[in-house]
Amino acid sequence: MGILSSPDLKLDLTELLPPKWGAIELWKNYAENIELCNKIIHRPTAEVLIYTAIDDPANASLEALALMFSVFFVSTVVLDPSTIQKITGEDKVTALHRYKTGLEQAFAKADFLEHPSVRLLEALSIYLAALRIHNPGRGLWTLNGLAIRAAQSIGLHRDGTRLGLSVFECEIRRRLWWHLVARDGRASEDYGIQNPTCFNLSIGVNYPSNLDDNDLYPEMKELPPPRPGWTPITLALINIQISRAWHRLAAIASEWKEKPVPESVRTQIVDELRDYAEGFLRHCNPVIPHQRQCLLVARFIIRKVDLVTRQQWLNLEHPEARESFATEENLLQALGILEDGMSLASDELLRPYRWSMRAYPQYHMILYVLWHLCVKPEGPNVERAWKALEYSMDHVRNVGTGSGPAAKMTVLEALREKALAIRQGIASGGEKEKEKEAYPTPGATDERSEVEGAEGVLDGMNGVDGMDWNTVMQDFPDWSTLMTEFQMDGLAFPNFLD
């Protein structure tokens, strides 16, 4: 990452900018199709800064250049190669390299690590959003941690009212801080890492208000009342509360052995989250694309949180009943989420926002459905499951490179091959002998190798008459073990699938 390296004193950053017309088109794409899904900047003030820098880049500040390069980078990531060629005059790969270099050198020349600012943090946040699509992995979470430390160093973890800042500055800082906190809260889902620090640091920092950007201006003396309906920050506010609910549930789960909490508490937390979101969503008009996107995405994520945490609670309450996860109810709910994701990805009204689906592949749901098909390959919803899987896996196969999604996709592909082999064995007959050969029954005194979280074979998986599923699946991980290992990027995934 160039912000950690020395500046190139011979490099003129303005030489890395696209033609002015191309710069305007990249900015428009960001403002209309990206910012609404990833609310970071205050558009009226940022727009003046961006257009001023485009018009006279030689006199633009390093902050303005950093913001420009981050906007150009994420727009280039999102747009297709032919569009980039048309508006910039160069191929997409070259353009990405150019804007990445410009951004990194703008940070280096501004000495970001020693002198961070709100504007530089906005630029970094936009860049991190682009990396979720372009090159995600553990490094992304690490860089978000860097952004949070930089934010702390300028006091973003304290409400601006305590620092004597203007009403406008206070609100802009709240938006940025809570964006960083909500992004960091995804670490538990992305990498299996529980990280309560940011939420603990945020005590005393007010949440942003549900206001349109035009409601905010530097000279304002007080905030107007929050709007009841949709604004460009509504989805961001819901995401903050989703991350907060996830954090609360993770904290409860981590203390389960000392202080068990009933399912009713989990349900109450999720219901409170849903009620909060619906307070905004009921005012959204589903025929207006950006409001439709907010409505569908928010409900989609909350359904996912509900299912994942319910599975977790079931495991905590009944750790000995591993087979309870492979139920038709769980499968149907997971399929419902996958199919909703398919609908979002194919909705023509939401075409400008499809990039956001690429940024958040449904790894967890795909993993669960594949696991279910391995341990329970027959049932009334098997064909529906395979159809949803093929579409969903095609959608995420080419997402990113490196240690994150590439490693996860390797695990998913191996699990898919295992599920297919079991399915084909059933279809061709003679599956019992084949599986016994592949998974020899251990002696009465044998012990299977232990993996943290695994507690013996799966019982009650008699999906095919006459097939001893306890024998067939003896070396196959239970859901808890599989999920734990998978969350760690698949980098040390056990050889369950060999």
Query: Helix H segments across 2-79?
Result: 20-29, 43-55, 62-78
Q: Would you say residue 170 has pLDDT above 90?
A: yes
> What are 73-83's pLDDT values in tens digits?
999 999 999 99
In contact, 280 and 229? CB cutoff 8 Å = yes
Query: How many whole angstroms separate alpha carbon 237 and alpha carbon 233?
Result: 6
Q: Take residue 231 and report the two structure tokens written for it.
A: 């604004």
Of the candidates 121, 114, 237, the residue with the CA atom closest to the CA atom of residue 173:
121
Mean pLDDT, residues 297-313 = 91
Question: What confidence category does residue 253 fall into, taking pLDDT thresholds of 50, 70 and 90?
Answer: confident
Return all residues near 356 (Cβ < 8 A) that are at least 6 apart. 37, 38, 293, 297
Any idea of the CA torsion for 347, 242, 265, 194, to the nearest 10 degrees? 120
Q: How many CB atoms lie within 10 A of CB 297?
A: 22
pLDDT at residue 193 above 60?
no
Indicate the burial class of 377 (C-beta count within 10 angstroms; 0-12, 13-18, 19 or more). Answer: buried
pLDDT for position 454: 29
Residue of higher predicted confidence among 257 and 321: 257
Cα–Cα distances in angstroms (integers) from residue 420 to residues 243, 325, 409, in the given order: 36, 20, 16
Could you give the CA distance from residue 183 to residue 180 in angstroms, rounded to a whole number? 5
**Model confidence at 135, in pLDDT bands (50, 70, 90)?**
low
Angle subtended by helix axes 62-78 and 20-29, to nearest 10: 70
Phi, psi of 390 (to 5 degrees): -60, -40
What's the alpha-carbon Rg for the chain, to the nearest Å?
25
Place of tokens 């801080």: 177
Q: Using an 8 Å Cβ cutoff, are 237 and 210 in contact?
A: yes
Tens digit of pLDDT for each residue in 449-481?
Answer: 333 332 332 232 333 333 343 433 444 455 555
CA distance 68 to 50: 6
Share of the chain above pLDDT 70, in %: 78
Q: Torsion angle of alpha carbons 411, 417, 420, 426, nearest 10°? A: -110
CB atoms within 10 A of CB 492: 8
| 89/95 Cα distance (integer angstroms) | 9
List the single range of 21-30, 418-427, 430-439 with lowest mean pLDDT. 430-439
Nearest to 37 by CA among 363, 324, 297: 297
Q: What is the dihedral of CA 19, 25, 31, 36, to 10 degrees?
A: -130
User: Of the given ranges (99-103, 244-248, 422-426, 455-459), which has the lowest mean pLDDT?
Assistant: 455-459
Q: What is the DSSP code (8-state) at residue 19?
A: P
Q: How many residues does the chain have?
A: 498
- φ/ψ of 80, rounded to 5, equals -80, 160
pLDDT band at residue 349 under the 50/70/90 scheme: very high
Higher pLDDT: 449 or 89? It is: 89
Give mean pLDDT, residues 105-119.
95
Q: What pLDDT, on the 0 to 100 scale, is given for residue 462? A: 32
Buried b (16+ CB within 10 A) or exposed e, 132-166: bbbbbbbebbebbbbbbebbbebebbbbbeeeeee
Q: What is the pLDDT of residue 197?
A: 56
Burial 183-221 (b: 16+ CB within 10 A, else e): bbbbbbbbbeeebeebbebbeebeebbbbebebbeeeee
The overall average pLDDT reported for the chain is 82
pLDDT of 167 reads 98
Per-residue pLDDT, 99: 97
Task: Kindly state the helix (H) or strand (E) to which residue 3 belongs, with its residue range.
Answer: none
The answer, yes or no, to whether residue 438 has pLDDT greater than 70, is no
